[in-house]
Amino acid sequence: MKNTATLLISCPDRKGLVAAIANFLYTYNANILHADQHQDDDAGLFLMRVEWDLDGFALDMNAFEAAFAPIAERFGMDWKLKRSAQKPRMAIFVSKYDHCLVDLLHRRHTGELDCEIPLVISNHEDCRRVAEFYGIAYYVIDVNKDNKAEAEAREHALLQEHGIDLIVLARYMQVLSSDFTAKWKHRVINIHHSFLPAFEGAKPYHRAHARGVKLIGATSHYVTEVLDDGPIIEQDVTRISHRDTVDALVEKGRDLERIVLSRAVRWHLDHRVLVYGHKTVVFD
């Protein structure tokens, strides 16, 4: 198992940033494994991800914040530090469609997704056997227009009880309230069965078929209070033809949904995503 730390930084762009960060790490004998950066000229922003080996690192990680603070203050940095030893804890929300849930649980089982999944929350019983096959607790919370606040309070209580860091909506067919999304800002990932911003909302494959499109896609994004409008993490498309029925579009779309969602989740878990404004940078 690797023992690394990852620093994610965004700040106003100016000279000396890379040197200051590298010199700080070098001072404490850091062996940098990966470093990537991006300058957004339009926004005047500098964004960086740097990962280093903690074996031989001379600074006590409990003292890192105090030691790094002068540099962060000097350059006006917004930053966060993540350690590989601290596995994120992920909850999955699902309704009736199980293809994304099955894919995520299998990838976690094989070690592709480096996280813990202590629970699955659903508004239907349909996927219970899938979760229980992997030994994961499955909670059914009915949601309707009359009990939404109460249902979300129960969900939030379960998430706190299990120490959840990330929520993944694996075709969870409910709209989260603005109060809920505000509590979990940039910590809820959704898969939308369409290439956003086209065909947002319900039944996009039916609408795409009616429109005669030649490409269909899937989009994984962070959830915000505006439906299907959060910062996009990953997208992909596949070509279709006039011979494809709606059922064929749905089948091809489900394959895309699995792939796109798993990529977005993996990149988030690997601390490769930085959100700024309404956009993301996904570092290699």
Domain extent listing, the chain: 4-83, 89-282
Report the CATH number of the 89-282 domain.
Answer: 3.40.50.170
- Is 228 one of the annotated active-site residues of the chain? yes
For residues 39-49, give the mean pLDDT: 95
Percentage of the chain beyond pLDDT 90 is 80
Strand ordering across the sheet containing 166-169: 137-140, 116-122, 89-94, 166-169, 188-192, 215-222, 232-239
pLDDT tens for 72-99 read 999 999 999 999 999 999 999 999 999 9
Per-residue pLDDT reduced to its tens digit, 53-66: 999 999 999 999 99
Strand order in the sheet with 4-12: 31-40, 45-53, 4-12, 78-83
Q: 100 — phi, psi (to 5°)?
A: -70, -40
Q: What pLDDT score was predicted for residue 235?
A: 93
Q: What is the mean pLDDT of the chain?
A: 93
**pLDDT computed for residue 6 by the predictor:** 98
Arithmetic mean of pLDDT, 140-155: 94
**pLDDT, average across residues 198-202:** 63
**pLDDT of 69 higher than 70:** yes
Q: In angstroms, rounded to a whole number, what is the distance separating the alpha carbons of residues 263 and 269?
A: 10
pLDDT band of 197, cuts 50, 70, 90: low
Could you tell me which CATH number the domain at 4-83 has? 3.30.70.260
Q: Are 228 and 200 in contact (CB under 8 A)?
A: yes
Confidence tier at 196 by pLDDT (50, 70, 90): low
Instruction: Name the catalytic one among 103, 228, 244, 270.
Output: 228
Residue 25: CA atoms inside 13 Å, Cβ hemisphere, count? 21
Please tell me the least confidently modeled range out of 45-59, 247-261, 268-282.
Answer: 247-261
